[in-house]
């Protein structure tokens, strides 16, 4: 492969910036779809599976490094062909079953084409990382044409996101070469996070079962006697 001179790379990235509109638009498209699906789920089931949504565009530097790692020439065509996560959306859920609910909701959309999936829930990475990844393609309608554009969607629980964010920061400090004991303890933390997710899911299911059997108990209103006691006794705050 011909090595590109720095001016060549700069010219390529300048051309790439012209198509960033597509990826920014794809982020908006996916974000809007997820918000609508979450609102509908809340209306129908009185429960919203999505805690929050984050999105980002990969930096020019990161794109360049990734192409070099793949052994590909730095061209706009290769950027679009070989890099799937230029546009990235992260969906944070409450519980692990919510992850698969969202996967099903996304996959059932007629105008979303699912290209790849990686289930790190069933098959965690060696370091303990758990999440669900999809590479999808959505149509972006411009004034003169329609351009299918790729987006990576990562779906994980709040606990998983906490671990993944800190793990990324720690490895960034070590430039990916963390000491063995750090890697071991991070894996132990990942296992604890997984156990925490399971425990919180079990508790939530137990709570729902109690409410189903006994009915939801109303929150008691304050009585005048209680209010009077608070007023008369200055030690009560």
pLDDT tens string, the chain, 237 residues long: the values are 444 444 467 778 778 887 899 999 999 999 999 999 999 999 998 888 999 999 999 998 899 999 999 999 988 999 999 999 999 999 999 999 999 999 999 999 999 999 999 999 999 999 999 999 999 999 999 999 999 999 999 999 999 999 999 888 887 777 667 788 888 999 999 999 999 999 999 999 999 889 888 765 544 444 444 344 433 444 333
The H or E element spanning position 152 is: strand 146-157
Rg (CA), the chain: 24
Give pLDDT, residue 52. 95
Whole-angstrom distance, CA of residue 142 vs CA of residue 181: 51
Give pLDDT, residue 216. 54
6-45 helix and 96-107 helix, angle to the nearest 10 degrees: 110
Whole-angstrom distance, CA of residue 49 vs CA of residue 235: 43
* Residue 53 burial (10 A CB sphere; 0-12, 13-18, 19+): middle
- Domains along the chain? 6-158 (3.30.460.10)
Give pLDDT, residue 215. 60
Structure token digits, residue 175: 């430039």
Write the DSSP symbol of residue 177. -
Give pLDDT, residue 217. 52
The answer to pTM > 0.85 is no
The closest of 143, 145, 33, 149 to 86, measured between CA atoms, is 149
Give pLDDT, residue 233. 44
Other beta carbons less than 10 A from residue 232's beta carbon: 8
**DSSP tally for the chain: helices H, then strands E:** 7, 5
Other beta carbons less than 10 A from residue 226's beta carbon: 12
The closest of 37, 84, 49 to 156, measured between CA atoms, is 49
Give pLDDT, residue 162. 95
Other beta carbons less than 10 A from residue 163's beta carbon: 23
């Amino acid at each position: 492969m011909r090595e590109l001179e720095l001016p060549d790379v700069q010219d390529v990235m300048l051309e790439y910036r012209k198509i960033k509109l597509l990826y920014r638009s794809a982020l908006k498209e996916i974000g809007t779809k997820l918000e609508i699906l979450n609102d509908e789920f809340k209306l129908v089931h009185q429960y919203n599976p999505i805690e929050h949504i984050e999105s980002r565009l990969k930096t020019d530097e990161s794109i360049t490094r990734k192409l070099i790692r793949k052994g590909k020439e730095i061209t706009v065509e290769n950027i679009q062909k070989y890099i799937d996560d230029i546009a990235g959306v992260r969906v944070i859920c409450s519980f692990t079953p919510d992850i698969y609910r969202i996967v099903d909701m996304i996959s059932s959309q007629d105008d979303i084409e699912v290209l790849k999936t990686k289930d790190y829930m069933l098959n965690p990475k060696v370091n303990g990382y758990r999440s669900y990844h999809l590479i999808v393609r959505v149509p972006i309608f411009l004034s003169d044409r329609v351009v299918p554009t790729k987006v990576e969607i990562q779906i994980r629980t709040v606990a998983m996101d906490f671990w993944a964010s800190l793990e990324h920061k720690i490895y960034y400090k070590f430039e990916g070469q963390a000491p063995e004991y750090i890697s071991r303890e991070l894996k132990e933390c990942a296992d604890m996070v997984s156990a925490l997710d399971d425990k919180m899911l079990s508790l939530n299911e137990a709570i729902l079962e109690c409410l189903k059997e006994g009915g939801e108990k109303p929150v008691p209103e304050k009585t005048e006697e209680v209010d009077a006691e608070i007023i008369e006794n200055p030690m009560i705050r």
